[in-house]
């Protein structure tokens, strides 16, 4: 059973991309063009935050998945509604088992403590497909043990074991970056669609 916490008013998009088709990622620096009146000088300034863009192909293997996606795109098209997606690559490597009731996980150092802004969410995808989501409260670097201590609330409702090879990654607040959704029909029940997302990095504080 999923344990979805700290998602606010946005829902989680739960389909997994087709890993046989490599997803693409881009970071687009935020720019502001300034033209000083009476001069030909133009200043292009880049913001500290970058916009995260992501495109992936989704293969729908049954009518349940297809109906889910059709309903989801219908309610979120036109770039009107924001939602969460899971970054498809594991971002954190668990060092030790986190038992039921834990409010911290220990992961390998990866410089995430330098990037941490206070609004980030993580997800843990279990081997059976269950998903756990949490808002990260703090990140502490432990150099002697070569790890990061990531804390959150509420506490975990189950064990997260190292040997289970769970995926632990980042959640991104996004909108669809397209108006049309084109499905490629493969069989009577199987179809394929490419989806584009753009991160809403200025809206985390309002969710």
Q: What is the pLDDT of residue 23?
A: 63
Distance (Å, whole) CA 165 – CA 169: 12
**What range defines the domain where residue 102 resides?**
3-206
Query: Do the beta carbons of residue 168 and residue 32 sit within 8 Å?
Result: no
The DSSP secondary-structure symbol of 183 reads E
Distance (Å, whole) CA 170 – CA 85: 9
Distance (Å, whole) CA 137 – CA 115: 14
Give this prediction's pTM. 0.81
Domain tally for the chain?
A: 1
pLDDT in tens, the chain (207 residues): 899 999 999 999 999 888 666 666 666 555 555 555 566 555 554 544 556 788 888 999 998 999 999 899 888 876 668 999 998 778 999 999 999 999 999 999 998 999 899 999 999 999 888 999 999 999 999 999 999 999 999 999 999 999 887 899 999 999 998 878 888 888 888 899 999 898 888 888 888
Long-range contacts from 61-68, C-beta under 8 angstroms, 24+ separation: 61/189, 61/190, 62/189, 63/189, 65/15, 66/189, 66/191, 68/14, 68/15
Q: What is the pLDDT of residue 90?
A: 84
Q: What is the pLDDT of residue 106?
A: 97
b or e along 45-54 (b: 16 or more beta carbons within 10 Å of the residue's beta carbon)? eeeeeebbbb
């Amino acid at each position: 059973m999923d344990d979805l916490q700290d998602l606010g008013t946005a829902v989680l998009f739960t389909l997994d991309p087709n890993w046989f088709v490599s997803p693409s990622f881009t970071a687009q620096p935020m720019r502001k063009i300034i033209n000083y009146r009476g001069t030909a000088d133009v200043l292009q300034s880049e913001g500290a935050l970058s916009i995260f863009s992501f495109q992936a192909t989704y293969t729908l293997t049954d009518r349940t998945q297809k109906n889910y996606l059709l309903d989801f795109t219908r309610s979120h098209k036109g770039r009107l509604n924001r939602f969460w997606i899971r970054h498809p690559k594991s971002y954190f490597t668990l060092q030790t088992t986190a038992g039921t009731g834990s409010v911290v996980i220990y992961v390998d150092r990866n410089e995430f403590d330098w990037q941490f802004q206070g609004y980030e969410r993580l997800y843990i995808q279990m081997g059976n497909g269950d998903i756990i989501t949490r808002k990260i409260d703090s990140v502490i670097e432990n150099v002697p043990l070569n790890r990061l201590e990531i804390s959150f609330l509420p506490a975990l409702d189950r064990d997260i074991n190292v040997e289970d090879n769970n995926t632990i990654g980042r959640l991104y607040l996004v909108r669809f970056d397209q108006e049309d959704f084109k499905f490629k029909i493969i069989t009577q029940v199987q179809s394929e669609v490419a989806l584009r997302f753009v991160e809403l990095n200025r809206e985390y504080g309002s969710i």
